[in-house]
Amino acid sequence: MRPIRKQSSPVPGDFDEYSDAKPELISRLGMYCSYCERPVSTNLAVEHIEPKKGPQGQPHLTNRWENFLLACVNCNSTKGDKKVDLQNLLLPDRDNTSAAFVYRKDGNIDIHNALNQQQARFAANTLKLVGLDKPRSVVLDANDEEVALDRASQRMQAYLLAERAKENLTACNREPMREKIVDTAVKTGYFSIWMAVFDEEIDMKLRFIEAFSGTKKSECFNQANANLVLPAPNPDALSNGSKV
Ligand SMILES: [Zn+2]
């Protein structure tokens, strides 16, 4: 999960309407779901980290910048009005979520084995909250070609695309190819998958960190070698941050 920094609120106090925050969130974080990392060109929603309604709702946080992320319809609807306990899960705006998960070629997301027991529990809670622990459902079209309907299938597709891009770089290791791959990554989304596939390529990782809005500003990556900075510096001091 791509670590991101929203920075401080663009308005003094709360927003009049939470939807007013959307342009600034997109400008700072890019047009991606903050949880599953898919690119969302329309219907990207202002996501309330703590639910605004329901029995666990926090209505006083409805229009508060610190409570916002961006989410796709799948993550948003899976999360719904479930209780969110900031102490017991990892969030991309305050934890180094890049250290928490391993992205597999089959579209599955595993919890990184470098986490301690407590951190691993927090990571599992995050996956469950937005349904990123759901396995890929194989759907075939009339020609028996797999159709990437769910998030896991889309991750698998992104992984294959990133692997092809890496082969292209090996075949043609030139500056224009590097730039082209970064453009493709930004368009395709799934920052974490590009980082996983290009794990050996420090220069490419630094380019991805730079190109996906809000990632470099998170300070979760060393700016010289792209190594993880742990725990997350959490420069805006968001509550319960830096758990990883
Ligand atoms: Zn999503």
Query: Does 235 reside within a domain?
Result: no
Query: Does 227 reside within a domain?
Result: no
Look at residue 241 in the predicted model and tell me its pLDDT.
98
Q: How far is the CA of 223 from the centre of ligand 1 (A)?
A: 27
Q: How far is the CA of 71 from the centre of ligand 1 (A)?
A: 5
Q: Which DSSP helix (H) or strand (E) runs through 73?
A: helix 73-79
Amino acid in position 78: T
Bond from prior residue into 231 cis (ω within 30 degrees of 0): yes
Query: Does 236 reside within a domain?
Result: no
Strand partners, 103: 109
Q: How far is the CA of 126 from the centre of ligand 1 (A)?
A: 12
Query: Does 237 reside within a domain?
Result: no
Look at residue 177 in the predicted model and tell me its pLDDT.
98
CA pair distance 156, 184, nearest whole angstrom:
16
Residue 108: CA count within 13 A, CB half-sphere = 6
Q: How far is the CA of 220 from the centre of ligand 1 (A)?
A: 21
Q: What values do phi and psi take at 241, rounded to 5?
A: -85, 180
| β pairing state of 109-111 and 68-71 | unpaired
3-class secondary-structure state, position 135:
coil
Q: How far is the CA of 211 from the centre of ligand 1 (A)?
A: 20
Domain region containing 108: 18-218
Query: Does 4 reside within a domain?
Result: no
Say which DSSP state 69 is in: E
CA pair distance 73, 120, nearest whole angstrom:
26
Q: How far is the CA of 209 from the centre of ligand 1 (A)?
A: 20
CA pair distance 92, 213, nearest whole angstrom:
13
CA pair distance 217, 28, nearest whole angstrom:
10
Task: Specify whether the backbone of 189 is left (phi greater than 0), alpha (psi in -120 to 50) or beta.
Answer: left
pTM above 0.85, yes or no: yes
Number of folded domains in the chain?
1
Say which DSSP state 45 is in: E
Q: How far is the CA of 6 from the centre of ligand 1 (A)?
A: 17
Look at residue 144 in the predicted model and tell me its pLDDT.
87
Residue with tokens 């910048």: 65
- Over the chain (244 residues), the average pLDDT of each successive run of 10 is 97 97 97 97 92 94 97 94 96 98 96 98 97 85 84 94 98 98 98 98 98 98 98 97 98
- DSSP character string of 162-188: HHHHHHHHHH--SHHHHHHHHHHHHHH
Query: Does 225 reside within a domain?
Result: no
CB atoms within 10 A of CB 116: 9
